[in-house]
């Protein structure tokens, strides 16, 4: 029997015009305490973002997504955050913020295959 482990995830979204409250899902962060792994997968859907705000800073949104992926990976590109544990990085990335790119609420699930669940969540919630 395969052992199921708890994980937490959050959708990364863009809110180009905060006053309108419209958003586009850009990616998924997934953290498993048992495996001490933090995974991220993102996508820059330019047409969707431009439909919500023709003046959206696509380059800025792209930089924010690359930064999120770097912090999630924890390598040298993460800067000082690289020294933090995956759980600390997940909490930092999912902290509420008032920016165009922001995290949604944190949800939980059970998994036997973290990588497969990241792909499933990405497919169902973003792509």
Task: Kindly report, residue by residue over 56-103, the tens digit of the pLDDT.
Answer: 999 999 999 999 999 999 988 888 888 899 999 999 999 998 899 999
79 token code pair: 């800067």
Question: Over 90: is that where the pLDDT of 25 sits?
Answer: yes
Given this model, what pLDDT does residue 58 score?
Answer: 96
CA 49/CA 51 separation, integer angstroms: 5
> Whole-model pTM above 0.95?
no
Strand residue runs (E) in 2-106: 5-14, 24-32, 37-42, 101-103
Beta bridge partners of 28: 11, 41
Percent of the chain with pLDDT over 70: 99
């Amino acid at each position: 029997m395969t052992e199921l482990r708890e994980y937490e995830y959050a959708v990364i979204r863009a809110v180009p015009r905060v006053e309108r409250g419209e958003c586009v899902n850009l990616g998924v962060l997934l953290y498993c305490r048992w495996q001490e792994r933090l995974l991220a997968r993102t996508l820059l859907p330019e047409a969707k973002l431009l439909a919500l705000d023709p003046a959206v800073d696509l380059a800025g949104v792209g930089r924010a997504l690359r930064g999120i992926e770097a912090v999630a990976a924890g390598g040298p590109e993460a800067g000082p955050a690289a020294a933090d544990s995956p759980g600390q990085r997940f909490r930092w990335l999912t902290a509420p913020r008032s920016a165009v790119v922001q995290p949604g609420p944190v949800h939980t699930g059970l998994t036997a295959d973290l990588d497969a669940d990241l792909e499933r969540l990405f497919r169902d919630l973003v792509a």
